[in-house]
Amino acid sequence: MIPWWYTAGSTLLLSIGAAAWDYSTYSSIDFQPPKLVVNKTGTTEPGFLFLGPRGGVQTAGQAALIYDDEGNLVYEGPEEVTANFMVQELNNKSVITFWAGEMMDIGYGYGSVHILDSSYKEIHTVTLEGAFVTPDNSTKDSYIDLHESIITPQNTLLVTAYNLTQHDLTSINGSSSDWMLDSHFYEIDISTNEILNSWSALEQEADIPLTTSHQGLGSDVGTQDAPYDAYHINAITTTNNGYLVSLRHMWSGYYLHHNGTVIWRVSGEDGGDFKQIGDAGFSWQHDMRVFNETDEGLVLNLFNNANTPTNTESPTTGVSLAIDLTKKTVTSLRSLSDPSDSIHSVSQGSYQLLSETSGHVFMDYGSISKVKEYDGDGKLVLSAQFGEDNAVASYRGYRCQWSAVPFWSPVANVTTTNNGADVFMSWNGATDYDNWVVYSGASNDSNGQQIGSANRTGFETMISLTSPPTSPIHVVARQGETVLGTSDSVSF
Burial-class residue 388 by CB neighbours within 10 Å (0-12, 13-18, 19+): middle
Helix (H, G, I), strand (E, B) or coil at 103: strand
Percent of the chain whose pLDDT exceeds 90? 88
Q: Say yes or no to pLDDT of 12 above 90.
A: no
Q: Look at the chain and count its residues.
A: 492
> What distances in angstroms separate CA 238 from CA 85, 243, 349, one per listed residue?
19, 4, 20
Least Cα distance to 454 among 404, 405, 412, 489 occurs for 412
Phi, psi for 249 (deg, rounded to 5): -75, -10
pLDDT at 309: 87
Helix (H, G, I), strand (E, B) or coil at 291: strand
| CATH code of domain 411-486 | 2.60.40
Q: Say yes or no to pLDDT of 142 above 70.
A: yes
> For the whole prediction, is pTM greater than 0.75?
yes
Mean pLDDT, the chain, integer: 94
Q: Say yes or no to pLDDT of 378 above 90.
A: yes
pLDDT at 57: 75
**Tell me, what DSSP letter sits at residue 195?**
E
Q: Tell me how crowded residue 358 is: count the other CB atoms within 10 A of its CB.
A: 13
pLDDT at 476: 97
Confidence band (pLDDT; 50, 70, 90) for 110? very high
Q: Say yes or no to pLDDT of 14 above 80.
A: no
pLDDT at 250: 98
Confidence band (pLDDT; 50, 70, 90) for 218? confident
Percent of the chain whose pLDDT exceeds 70? 96
Confidence band (pLDDT; 50, 70, 90) for 2? very low
Q: List the chain domain ranges.
A: 37-400, 411-486
Q: Say yes or no to pLDDT of 31 above 80.
A: yes
Q: What is the mean pLDDT of residues 193-205?
A: 98
pLDDT at 15: 43
pLDDT at 313: 79
Which CATH class for the 37-400 domain?
mainly beta
Q: Give the pairing type, strands 156-167 and 178-189.
A: antiparallel
pLDDT at 56: 72
Confidence band (pLDDT; 50, 70, 90) for 5? very low
CB 49 within 8 A of CB 399: yes
Confidence band (pLDDT; 50, 70, 90) for 125? very high
Q: What is the mean pLDDT of residues 25-44?
A: 97
Confidence band (pLDDT; 50, 70, 90) for 18? low
Q: Say yes or no to pLDDT of 459 above 50.
A: yes
pLDDT at 17: 44
What pLDDT, in 10s, does the model give residues 94-107?
999 999 999 998 89
pLDDT at 448: 83
Confidence band (pLDDT; 50, 70, 90) for 471? confident
Q: Give the pairing type, strands 329-336 and 275-277.
A: parallel
What pLDDT, in 10s, does the model give residues 307-354?
998 877 799 999 999 999 999 999 999 999 999 999 999 999 999 999
Q: Say yes or no to pLDDT of 4 above 60.
A: no
pLDDT at 311: 79
- Same fold? 37-400, 411-486: no
Compare 106 and 42 and report the one with higher pLDDT.
42
pLDDT at 1: 26
CA distance 429 to 447: 29
pLDDT at 19: 62
pLDDT at 310: 83
pLDDT at 7: 30
What pLDDT, in 10s, does the model give residues 274-291?
999 999 999 999 999 999
Question: Is the Cα dihedral 46, 371, 22, 410 positive or negative?
Answer: positive
